[in-house]
Chain A
Amino acid sequence: GIQVEQSPPDLILQEGANSTLRCNFSDSVNNLQWFHQNPWGQLINLFYIPSGTKQNGRLSATTVATERYSLLYISSSQTTDSGVYFCAVHNNAGNMLTFGGGTRLMVKP
């Protein structure tokens, strides 16, 4: 199956700093999603982004499908951004969603 790798595994930021999270995948995919899991365990979808760039407030994501990677940008980080960020890819058959290992982010005040 598809392999999904995220980097870095852990990240500590000072409030106000910017960061880039990376997601590499091993095969062509039908779609890609980014999720945020808050410290209480709730996972929320951030982006559906099979290709191109999308922005939502301080977050933006870019997927370069031909090179098999996606980036999540967090600007002006806040303590509420803390948690785990997951990248997940849809296989071409469209029946499986495979998650990466996640990036654990801690934003310090």
Chain B
Amino acid sequence: DVKVTQSSRYLVKRTGEKVFLECVQDMDHENMFWYRQDPGLGLRLIYFSYDVKMKEKGDIPEGYSVSREKKERFSLILESASTNQTSMYLCASSLRGFYGYTFGSGTRLTVV
């Protein structure tokens, strides 16, 4: 069964910490995405990558960075976590053209 796996289901971090969220897919998909989901706001795109070492800013990239050193792995980095980054973070991958769009189970991050 194809999968997108996020490393943690729940995470609690302190303000100012550097936070890494990891995502791995086993479908050989070219595209990978990071979203955050907040009540009433739907899913908002933070960053996406359409190839190894390539990245593009989404709608809300401020305060985040990403890394894609291998095709199957896409990492989201919060350089200095803040309380307004408390949210559900969802990783997804797809083929080119956005077919086969598959989401991970999400990481609920709380910054205290």
Contact = CB atoms under 8 A, between A and B. Distances in A.
Interface stretch (A41-49, A57-65, A74-82): A41-49
A100 B90 contact: no
B49 to A, nearest CB: 11
Interface in A1-48: 1, 4, 6, 9, 31, 33, 35, 40-45, 48
Interface residues of B, number: 24
Contacts of A102: 42
Mostly helix, strand, loop or mixed at chain A's interface?
Answer: strand
A101 B42 contact: yes
A45 B40 CA distance: 20
Between A40, A90, A99, the greatest number of chain B beta carbons within 10 A of the residue's beta carbon is seen for A99
Contacts, number: 50
Interface in B6-37: 33, 35
A86 B43 contact: yes
A107 interface: no
Nearest to B35: A99
Nearest to B59: A1
A94 interface: yes
Contacts of B33: 97
A95 B56 contact: yes
Given A90-B98, A94-B97, A95-B56, A42 B103 contact: yes
Contact of B101 (A97, A98, A100): A97
Nearest to B92: A43
B101 A99 contact: no
Contacts of A40: 105
A43 B45 contact: no
